[in-house]
Amino acid sequence: MSATCLEIRNLSAVLANGQRVLRSVSLAVEPGEVRALVGESGAGKTMIGKAVLGVLPLSVRIVEGDMLLEGENLGRLSPKARRTLIGTRTALIPQDPLTALNPSRRIGPQMTDRLVRILGWNGERADQRIRQLLEEVQIRDPDRVLKSYPHELSGGMRQRVLIAAAFAAEPRLIVADEPTTALDVTVQKQILRLIAQLQREHGTAILFVTHDLGVVAKISQKVSVLYAGKVVEEAETAALFAAPQHPYTRALMAATPRYTDPLASLKPVDEAVLAGLAAEIAAADRAWRPRHG
């Protein structure tokens, strides 16, 4: 099947007070590809991930646009069918491993429940699958981990567990929502390498949400740069770093520390660039009318 894994067309969303959080966002993720969504906090990158997975907060409402998961238009499905489709074809690697595991349930059932209850596997097959994945994320004592409660594991261990659980069901698309931000710097690198390795081996497409251009360079093939809910630039990762087109992208790069010379190049995103963007977006907002809603 060569259908595009995820296609987002003209997605716009507003808050309850009418403020726009996504402005006609379009992007596509091909099978097996890692697409980075980069931007500052509040740029709407996490919103896109949540919109795809159908877990937007109650205060955010989609007012126009389509989302196609392997050719299926999510907006046209019944809520139940949409839930099942998302549950079988996608997975989420959450931002904070400390809050993403239920404190009152053991790790084992939390990892297998989707395989058994949504995908209908039998318990033994699910258990084998989970153990295989735990091995892949380099957890050496799966028996202990599966029997543990979340608070008995370190943050890095929990994120490994969550990564293993995400890949276990062989989803076509994983949304990774800043999966390294909440971790220690040393652990960050290991986790990032792990995600990249599993992604290659399993051939899973990833929508990788991050604010960190350094991470983008390491993991993704393509990048969408977001500002204020709008995609301002979209390119192959290598091309973007070689020749950023949009002034905001250039400003963002200038504001990112380089590992070679961390302090020399560090400066805030240029005020003039931001002012220009704000004016551009305000003008677009005035002209914008949602097609429905």
Partner 1 sequence: MLLQRFLIRLLTMAITLFGVAVVVFVVIRVAPGDPIAMMLPPGATDADIARLRALYGLDKTIVQQFFIWLSGVVRGDFGTSISLRQDVLGLVFNRLPATLELAIVALLMAVAIGGTAAILGARERGTAVEAGIDIASGTALSIPDFLWGLVLILLFGVLVPVFDISGRVSPQLDLPFVTQFYLFESVLRLRFDLTWDLLKHMLMPAVALALPLAAIIAQLLKQSLKEVLDLDYVVLARVKGFSETQVILREALKNAALPTLTLVGVQFTFLIGGTVIVERLFSYEGLGNMAIDAVINRDLPLIQGIVLVFALLFVLINLTVDMMYALLNPRLRHG
> Which residues here bind partner 1, judged by CB under 8 A?
50, 53-55, 57-58, 80, 83-84, 86-88, 90-92, 94-96, 99-105, 110, 113-114, 117-118, 149, 151-152, 162, 175
Residue 223, phi then psi, degrees to nearest 5:
-130, 140
Q: C-beta of 107: minimal distance to partner 1 in Å?
A: 12
- Is residue 215 within 8 A of residue 195, CB to CB? The reply is no
36 vs 70: CA distance, rounded Å: 19
- Nearest to partner 1 of 6, 225 (CB atom): 6
Q: C-beta of 175: minimal distance to partner 1 in Å?
A: 8
- Nearest to partner 1 of 73, 102 (CB atom): 102
- Nearest to partner 1 of 33, 178 (CB atom): 178
Taking Cα atoms as reference points, which of 103, 108, 182, 187 lies closest to residue 150? 103
Rama region for 130: left / alpha / beta (φ>0; ψ in -120 to 50; rest): alpha
- Nearest to partner 1 of 55, 282 (CB atom): 55
Token pair listed for 246: 């949009």
170 vs 90: CA distance, rounded Å: 8
Q: C-beta of 184: minimal distance to partner 1 in Å?
A: 19
Give first-to-last CA distance, the chain, whole Å.
Answer: 34
How far from 230 is each of 2, 27, 123, 209, 254, CA to CA, in Å?
A: 28, 11, 44, 14, 20
- Nearest to partner 1 of 25, 101 (CB atom): 101
Q: C-beta of 203: minimal distance to partner 1 in Å?
A: 20
- Nearest to partner 1 of 61, 218 (CB atom): 61
Taking Cα atoms as reference points, which of 181, 176, 238 lies closest to residue 45? 176
Q: C-beta of 74: minimal distance to partner 1 in Å?
A: 13
Return the number of other C-beta atoms located less than 10 Å from residue 217's C-beta.
Answer: 15
- Nearest to partner 1 of 158, 246 (CB atom): 158
Q: C-beta of 241: minimal distance to partner 1 in Å?
A: 31
Q: C-beta of 291: minimal distance to partner 1 in Å?
A: 25
